[in-house]
Amino acid sequence: MVLFGFDPIVMSGMSGGGTGSRRQDRCLTAQLHLSSIPEDEVLSSAELRLYCQQIEGAGLGGEEGGFHRINVYEVLKLPQTGTGQLITRLLDTRLVHHNATRWESFDVSPAVLRWTRDRLPNHGLALEVLHLNSTPTQQGQHVRISRSLHPGAAEDWLQLRPLLVTFSHDGKGHPLTRRTKRSPRPRGRKKNRNCRRHELYVDFSDVGWNDWIVAPPGYQAYFCHGDCPFPLADHLNSTNHAIVQTLVNSVNAEIPRACCVPTELSAISMLYLDEHDKVVLKNYQEMVVEGCGCR
């Protein structure tokens, strides 16, 4: 099962250094609290989502004048003194046009995996917003990284604040990376065609839903398929009605056999954009097949 969650991101200030200054003088650092990730969850990936807002009347000209570069770093070592060096490692980067207003995703999986799986120190992330032709005060204007003071800012901030989205599973099922050695199949052995669960990965971009679903990009839905033969075995999870219907089918072919259908379903959480372009987290029921049976 795929889960994803949000963790608080505490942002600390950015000073207005130019492109020639030290990185810590032009970076905004984010301390990530990962306590909301259950210890029994197996983390697979993580994304930092930042809301980029159009710059009105910025007057940014030139061939590359209309773009900002956003760099996200893992902080490996904090400065020991005020003049010390911030040691970082680049995780992801994006080139964003200053007229764009949208969410941007940055892959921070290596850092979050180091903190959770390898138990290495979590010094947070560093965010750097660069523009070749902008002034130091314009460097961070394109990215929504702090709360504004205008009316309604508190409500907007809840919808547009930076988010850490983590993708994980609870260890149930069979991980795709796990492989076991198969013993030679005896000759003449028939393939099991009875009712059972099969894999079905739904990619939202394939069905045209990626324009309103922010996360996850897809999920393992599974589906039920297979025969419901007479007599129905106990492991086929059938009802008394299905047993009787299959019995009648054995003497009257006009009566159909019981069908292989989902008997247990579970929910997934999705982050999507509503009609007002606000980011909403919702739990959708009955989205994942957990069990199949003849009904």
User: What tens digit of pLDDT does each residue of 64-121 get?
Assistant: 457 788 889 998 888 777 667 778 889 998 888 877 788 888 999 899 888 888 888 8
**Cα 252 off chain centre by:** 51
- The pLDDT, as a whole number, for residue 9 is 46
The residue-averaged pLDDT of 29-58 equals 72
Lowest-confidence region among 5-14, 67-76, 285-294? 5-14
Q: Which residues contact 85 (CB under 8 A, 6 or more apart)?
A: 22, 24, 79
Domain 196-294, classified CATH 2.10.90.10, yes or no = yes
Lowest-confidence region among 7-11, 25-29, 191-195, 280-284? 7-11
- The pLDDT, as a whole number, for residue 10 is 47
Rank 59-68, 132-141, 163-172, 180-189 by mean pLDDT and report only the highest: 163-172
- The pLDDT, as a whole number, for residue 185 is 56
Give the residues across from 185 on adjacent strands. none
Q: Kindly report, residue by residue over 151-179, the tens digit of the pLDDT.
A: 455 556 566 778 888 777 665 554 444 44
What pTM was computed for the model? 0.50
Q: Which residues contact 225 (CB under 8 A, 6 or more apart)?
A: 195, 196, 198, 260
Look up residue 227 and give its DSSP letter: B
Whether residue 148 has pLDDT greater than 80? no
| Better-scored residue on pLDDT, 292 or 59 | 292
Query: With contact defined as beta carbons under 8 Å apart, do 260 and 292 qualify?
Result: yes
The residue-averaged pLDDT of 258-283 equals 87
- Alpha-carbon torsion 144, 108, 3, 122, what sign? negative
Structural domain boundaries in the chain: 3-56+63-169, 196-294
Of 221, 230, 285, 292, nearest to 261 (Cα)?
292
Query: With contact defined as beta carbons under 8 Å apart, do 226 and 234 qualify?
Result: no
Whether residue 38 has pLDDT greater than 70? no
| Better-scored residue on pLDDT, 32 or 217 | 217
Q: Which residues contact 232 (CB under 8 A, 6 or more apart)?
A: 238, 242, 243, 246, 258, 294
- The pLDDT, as a whole number, for residue 56 is 63
| Better-scored residue on pLDDT, 268 or 66 | 268
Give the residues across from 31 on adjacent strands. 10
The residue-averaged pLDDT of 238-253 equals 83
